[in-house]
Amino acid sequence: MYSNVVLGVEHERFEAVLANKKRIDNVDSDADFNIEQLNWIINAYKNTVERFTNATFPQDPYDQLKGAIEAVFNSWQNKRAVTYRKINNIPDSWGTGATVQAMVFGNLNDKSGTGVAFTRNPSNGNKELYGEYLINAQGEDVVAGIRTPHPMKKIKNIKQESLESKFPKVYKEILEISTKLENHFKEVQDIEFTIENEDIYLLQTRKAKRTAQASVKIAIDMQKEGIVTKEEALTMVDANSITNLLHPQFVDSQQKELFNKALNASPGAAVGEIVFDADKAEEEAGKGREVILVRDETSPEDIHGMHSSVGILTTKGGMTSHAAVVARGMGKPCVVGAESLIIDHSSKTISNGSTTLNEGDIISIDGGLGEIYIGVLQSEPPKPSEEFNILMDWCDEFKRLKIRANAETITDTKKSLEFGAEGIGLCRTEHMFFEGDRIIPMREMIMSDTKQGRERALSKLIKYQISDFEDLFMLLKDKPITVRLLDPPMHEFLPKSDIEMTELGNAIGVSPAHIREMLVKLSESNPMLGHRGVRLGLSYPEIYEMQVEAILRAAYNLNKNEKLSVSPEIMIPLIMNAEELSQMKQYLLEKINQLEEELKFTFNFTIGTMIELPSAALNSSSIAEHAEFFSFGTNDLTQTTLGLSRDDASKFLNSYVENDIFLEDPFVSIDQGSVGKVVEISISEGKSSNKDLKIGVCGEHAGESNSIQFFNTLQIDYISCSPFRIPTAKLAAAQAEIIKTNLL
């Protein structure tokens, strides 16, 4: 190990010597070698070192110690440490430390051993000592997954002797230590220990990595046990990771072809193509494929491949092996220790004895049950646990920000309400034009050269819009909804293939040549900075007028038929300045007046705008004179503030993050120094002219924990995110308020 870690000689060189000697001398286990054989191996090792480093193995213990310490510091810069920091957003500037300890020997005799234990089960959160150990072995042997370790507690039908029965005194001592450590650190601990002649030594203790499921249960349990307060419990759970709990599970009632069953290291359902090495996994995932990394065991070198995979399967190792620990930390489904599966690297196959699968074949793995199936299995949404519901209720006690959803379909709205959304903060109406037959009149409208033609097509669309809004309003009852008028450039709605063009031509009575002509006419070099949002609204006011009519007619119908009083928030996208908003608003108010006269009804509604251009932020004081609310579209605002295309920048953003130009992808976590400042300026300008201005955020950042922490420091009333991010938003909002008001 020293030669590998400190001197940089490949581990396999020594494994080869050992394996050879075992084969020649017919020895089964490392511990069975006699003195003479060990001396032979030591000599062979020394020769190996000399051959590969051109120097003899250092014999002075001080030189050895210095080398070891240097290796620890150098490890900060190795590829796996760099990748780990990148995945976990740890700044490169932190640096590392080294602790020098006296050595104890777990491989002294059969009264010795080594192990890893968690003070609670890191997979499901149950309160039990959970871990593994090996008799007559040293440190790395357990985590390396080379020998199959023994359990801590007696387990029925498992022949390997548990720590509890082999070393009852040590077992009892570890239990006592666990309680002491948990009470001290107020956290579940992951401990490494060595037993030397039945005496226990703790080598290390640290906060235990756990699945999202375990994390929630542990937080609630520790509060109940009086170890932590409610506020501490809420901050123990990583807000970004709890979306893992909402991920699908396999449907029970379906035909399944079991390939193998092994250890359930990290829960969840994953379906993907088999890939046998980490680089390939990264490459395939980069092409948009879903892959499952299948290895005998993983090591830190595989981190990038694990990160790129939807699930992980190993044939060796236990519940504390590298694969298991890392997968749990990443929230990925993982099955380990599938010992009866044989991987053949030369033919790139994996076999269970009767069936052989190739690289690229699809498997489905259930990390909660430890099962591996051949082919694609269907999945369904999970049922949230009791602890999860308690956690969500606690969030409501602490959070200040209201949480809304970005949703426009019935399914998404129902889901959002189930997750606790307090309204809809962004209903992207363009999504309503793609469903079923609607796309035909939409395309007909775009194809029309005249206002009359457009109005004819819009009169077909309005009935769909009215019934869509009625359905949404019915579901939401008294909860608020912000409806955004059409935003994307027109060409996004047009047919792409020849077949589609012919079909459209037949449906609306124009030639495919005319359609092609329109496609050319509507195409733009920079569509995201082009004819979209309010710019379209001003060019073709009849479109927004139709949408507003639909929204208000739906509200009227529900008022008459269901006695429901709906007060929609009508939102105009991509405003640059006050004049633009005021002109657009004029069109809409005229339409609304006409409607009120026709129906003899006074509508309740507000009109506001999105702030997604720096210009809008700088003009916020005059814009706010015409707006009752602002909603920050931080996706476009990031794009336009940083001048980074949200569709293309991913090509180089990774390297920007790697090189510390950004700590995180600015489309994921808000860039506080730039976009964050723009938001701050806009709020202060907006409030200066309209103190009642309601303020929300509806870009993707509204579902990301660090960004939410930042938003909570500003005068923002609500954040709105996609349905599956709502629990994250609730928890992050509660944590942000707890931190801000120093409740810890």
308, 285 contact by CB (below 8 A):
yes
- List of residues 6+ apart from 741 with CB closer than 8 A: none
- The minimum distance between CB 674 and ligand PEP, in angstroms, equals 15
- List of residues 6+ apart from 124 with CB closer than 8 A: 211, 213, 214, 217, 267
- The minimum distance between CB 161 and ligand PEP, in angstroms, equals 58
- The minimum distance between CB 640 and ligand PEP, in angstroms, equals 9
Closer by beta carbon to ligand PEP, 142 or else 702? 702
Could you tell me how many residues of this chain bind Mg ion (CB under 5 A)? 3
Closer by beta carbon to ligand PEP, 122 or else 699? 699
- The minimum distance between CB 496 and ligand PEP, in angstroms, equals 20
- The minimum distance between CB 585 and ligand PEP, in angstroms, equals 20
DSSP assignment of 353-405 equals: SS-EEETT-EEEEETTTTEEEES---EEPPPPPHHHHHHHHHHHHH--SEEEE
* Whether 721 is catalytic: no
Residues 640, 571: Cα–Cα separation, whole Å: 20
Closer by beta carbon to ligand PEP, 162 or else 705? 705
- The minimum distance between CB 601 and ligand PEP, in angstroms, equals 31
* Residue located via tokens 């065991």: 297
Closer by beta carbon to Mg ion, 209 or else 532? 532
- List of residues 6+ apart from 567 with CB closer than 8 A: 480, 555, 604, 605, 606
- The minimum distance between CB 248 and ligand PEP, in angstroms, equals 25
- The minimum distance between CB 713 and Mg ion, in angstroms, equals 23
- List of residues 6+ apart from 493 with CB closer than 8 A: 430, 433, 434, 439, 442, 443, 446
C-alpha distance from residue 399 to each of 362, 434, 591, 739 (Å): 43, 36, 39, 11
For β-strands 269-275 and 362-366, DSSP reports them as antiparallel
- For residue 123, the one-letter residue type is S
The partner in contact with residue 302, picked from ligand PEP, Mg ion, none with C-beta cut-offs of 5 to 8 angstroms by kind, is none
Which of 273, 422, 636, 737 is the binder for Mg ion (CB under 5 A)? Answer: 636
* Residue located via tokens 């220990």: 193
Residues between 657 and 716 with contacts to Mg ion, criterion CB under 5 A: none
96: tokens are 């590392």
DSSP assignment of 560-576 equals: HHH-----PEEEE-S--
- The minimum distance between CB 633 and Mg ion, in angstroms, equals 4
Q: Which stretch binds Mg ion (CB under 5 A): 64-72, 278-286, 454-462, 636-644?
A: 636-644
User: What sign for the dihedral angle of Cα 226, 229, 233, 236?
Assistant: negative
The partner in contact with residue 634, picked from ligand PEP, Mg ion, none with C-beta cut-offs of 5 to 8 angstroms by kind, is ligand PEP
Residues 537, 531: Cα–Cα separation, whole Å: 10
Closer by beta carbon to ligand PEP, 633 or else 686? 633
User: What residues make contact with ligand PEP under the rule CB under 6 A?
Assistant: 426, 428, 487, 612, 633-636, 698-699
* 334 burial type by CB count under 10 A (0-12 exposed, 13-18 middle, 19+ buried): buried
Check residue 192 for interaction with Mg ion (CB under 5 A).
no
The partner in contact with residue 583, picked from Mg ion, ligand PEP, none with C-beta cut-offs of 5 to 8 angstroms by kind, is none
- The minimum distance between CB 426 and ligand PEP, in angstroms, equals 6
The partner in contact with residue 256, picked from Mg ion, ligand PEP, none with C-beta cut-offs of 5 to 8 angstroms by kind, is none
95: tokens are 């640096």
Closer by beta carbon to ligand PEP, 179 or else 645? 645
- Site mask, Mg ion, residues 563-582, x = CB under 5 A? --------------------
> Which residue is catalytic, options 491, 698, 701, 721?
698
118, 97 contact by CB (below 8 A):
no
The partner in contact with residue 122, picked from Mg ion, ligand PEP, none with C-beta cut-offs of 5 to 8 angstroms by kind, is none
Closer by beta carbon to Mg ion, 14 or else 711? 711
Residues 210, 30: Cα–Cα separation, whole Å: 33
- The minimum distance between CB 636 and Mg ion, in angstroms, equals 4
- The minimum distance between CB 457 and Mg ion, in angstroms, equals 25
Closer by beta carbon to ligand PEP, 719 or else 736? 719
Question: Which among 211, 245, 249 has a CA at the least distance from the CA of 328?
Answer: 211
> Which residue is catalytic, options 322, 491, 626, 701?
322
Residues 14, 36: Cα–Cα separation, whole Å: 18
* Helix 386-398 × helix 726-740 angle, to 10°: 50
- The minimum distance between CB 698 and ligand PEP, in angstroms, equals 5
Residues 359, 275: Cα–Cα separation, whole Å: 5
Closer by beta carbon to Mg ion, 221 or else 612? 612
Residues 547, 637: Cα–Cα separation, whole Å: 25
- Site mask, Mg ion, residues 604-633, x = CB under 5 A? --------x--------------------x
Check residue 145 for interaction with Mg ion (CB under 5 A).
no
Closer by beta carbon to ligand PEP, 335 or else 729? 729
647, 610 contact by CB (below 8 A):
no
DSSP 3-state of 314: strand
In which element (H, E) is residue 610 found?
A: strand 606-611
Closer by beta carbon to Mg ion, 636 or else 700? 636
Closer by beta carbon to ligand PEP, 268 or else 537? 537
232, 142 contact by CB (below 8 A):
no
The partner in contact with residue 325, picked from ligand PEP, Mg ion, none with C-beta cut-offs of 5 to 8 angstroms by kind, is none
Check residue 549 for interaction with Mg ion (CB under 5 A).
no
The partner in contact with residue 699, picked from ligand PEP, Mg ion, none with C-beta cut-offs of 5 to 8 angstroms by kind, is ligand PEP
DSSP assignment of 512-527 equals: HHHHHHHHHHH--SSG
Residues 440, 342: Cα–Cα separation, whole Å: 54
C-alpha distance from residue 342 to each of 260, 295, 296, 302 (Å): 11, 10, 9, 19
Closer by beta carbon to ligand PEP, 305 or else 703? 703
> Alpha helix locations (H) across 196-339?
212-224, 230-236, 278-286, 303-308, 322-330
Check residue 541 for interaction with Mg ion (CB under 5 A).
no
C-alpha distance from residue 436 to each of 24, 429, 433, 491 (Å): 72, 15, 8, 19
669: tokens are 């976590």
Question: Which among 393, 391, 479, 398 has a CA at the least distance from the CA of 712?
Answer: 398
The partner in contact with residue 470, picked from Mg ion, ligand PEP, none with C-beta cut-offs of 5 to 8 angstroms by kind, is none
For β-strands 189-196 and 199-207, DSSP reports them as antiparallel
Binding footprint of Mg ion on the chain (CB under 5 A): 612, 633, 636
| Active site residue ranges | 322, 698
